[in-house]
Structures are given as structure tokens and as C-alpha cells.
Amino acid sequence: MSGDHGSAAIAGRVRHVEALLEQRGLLDDGEIDRRIDEFLAGGSPINGARIVVRAWLDAGFHDRLLADANATIREVGLSMAGGLQEQRLKVVANNEQEHNVVVCTLCSCYPIALLGPSPSWYKSEAYRSRVVRDPRGVLHEFGLKLPADTRISVWDASAESRYMVVPRRPTGTDGFSESELVGLVTRKGLIGTAAV
């Protein structure tokens, strides 16, 4: 049986439960689809990039972000409250000694509100299993060659917790405007599979 048949069966069961909730007046007709559309419409890697640039430019924000990301991202008008409860966000920062990379080994948990919809490679079984066993090799395949003495930390997301990386600020960007800096930050950099 192919994965498509399994997905269709699950989708059918989900639609059945949704219909029951609508019939009982617990959900308005189409409410789940509207909420998903609203949630996805606000999610973009630009959100994560804005957070990173603020951390690069404001040491106090940087420190608060690493200590309590959920509270700190509210300072820039963002939050992790997309469902029934707020997801825990942990932000980790790359430096000369350590490089961070994010994965969800069980499925594809990911901070959609801050990074936009997850890339297909993030959801792939190959990435999810290999980045834990051989992070240096996986990063090399992404084109990121780190010095041998750089420690690599792999952060495993879950249904309750999401992670985001603050990449190192590129050298030679001291005179850049905030919008120029935002333009340098990529989704791969926010996941840790690329440098900025």
C-alpha cells in the first residue's frame, strides 16, 4: 500500500471528526480550514529574519531571546500561539565554537509562524535520521563546511517545543541597514543547515 492511500484514509477520518464537530455546533462550517489558512498566511522566514537581525543589533534583545524566546519575540509583534496553546520556542545562537542545527526526528515539528511552511527536505526521513547520526556530513551535503574543531549541537523539536537558530552575523556587514541585513537571513540559516 502506498503512502498516498494511507494519507487518504487519515484525511477521511479527520474530515469525519470535523463534520461531527460542525454538526454538534462545536465548530462553524469551514472553521478549521479558515484557521489553518490564517495561521499559514502569517508564517514567513521574514519573521525569523527580523528576530535574528534585532538580536544582531541589540545585545539586550539577544540575551533576552536566548533566555525566554516566547516572551522576547512579542517585542517585535510575533508569538508562538497558533493553536490551542502556545508552543515553547527555544532560540539557540551560533558562535565561533558552536554551530546549531534543528531537526524533528519524529515527524516535522517546526516554527511555521517564524520560518514559513517547512521545506520538503526537513520532513524527509533521510534528513531526520541522518542529521542526528552525522550532522557534519549532512551539513557538508548542504554546502556548509565547518572547521573540524567547531562543535555541532543538534536540537530535536517536538509537539510542544520548537527551535530556531540565530546564525552568526556575516563579517563586513557593519554598515548594512536593517532591511539589508534581513535580506541576508535565509530559512536554511534559521534551521542551521547554512551560514548567512
Residues 34 and 47 in one domain: no
Residues with catalytic function: 104, 107-109
Query: Is residue 196, in this structure, part of any structural domain at all?
Result: no
Residues 55 and 137 in one domain: yes
Beta partners for 156? 103
Distance of CA 66 to the CA centre of its chain: 15
What's the mean pLDDT in 122-135?
96
Query: Is residue 81, in this structure, part of any structural domain at all?
Result: yes
Q: For 105-110, which contacts have Cβ atoms below 8 Å and span 24 or more sequence positions? A: 105/129, 105/132, 105/156, 106/158, 109/157, 109/158, 109/159, 109/161, 109/162, 110/157, 110/162
Residues 31 and 64 in one domain: no
Residue 84 gets which letter from DSSP?
Answer: S
Residues 135 and 87 in one domain: yes
Number of domains present in the structure of the chain: 2
Q: What pTM does this model have?
A: 0.80
Range(s) of the domain holding residue 101: 43-191
- Asked whether 69 and 141 are in contact (CB, 8 A), the reply is no
In this prediction, residue 39 has a pLDDT band, given cuts at 50, 70 and 90, of low
pLDDT digit string (tens) for 52-61? 999 999 999 9
Beta partners for 102? 155
Q: What is the C-alpha to C-alpha distance for residues 124 and 105, in angstroms, rounded to an integer?
A: 10
Residues 79 and 175 in one domain: yes
Residues 27 and 77 in one domain: no
Residues 29 and 87 in one domain: no
Question: For position 66, which CATH number holds?
Answer: 3.90.330.10
Residues 21 and 100 in one domain: no
Query: Is residue 58, in this structure, part of any structural domain at all?
Result: yes
**Torsion-angle region of 88 (φ positive above 0: left; ψ -120 to 50: alpha; else: beta):** beta
Residues 79 and 134 in one domain: yes
Q: How many CB atoms lie within 10 A of CB 190?
A: 27
Q: Under 8 Å CB-to-CB from 67, ≥6 apart: which residues?
A: none
pLDDT digit string (tens) for 90-126? 999 999 999 999 999 998 899 988 998 889 999 999 9
| The three cell numbers locating residue 89 | 520556542
Q: Under 8 Å CB-to-CB from 42, ≥6 apart: which residues?
A: 113
Residues 94 and 48 in one domain: yes
Residues 97 and 23 in one domain: no
What was the pLDDT predicted at 32? 76
Residues 22 and 84 in one domain: no
Query: Is residue 125, in this structure, part of any structural domain at all?
Result: yes
Helices 59-67 and 45-57: crossing angle, nearest 10°?
Answer: 120
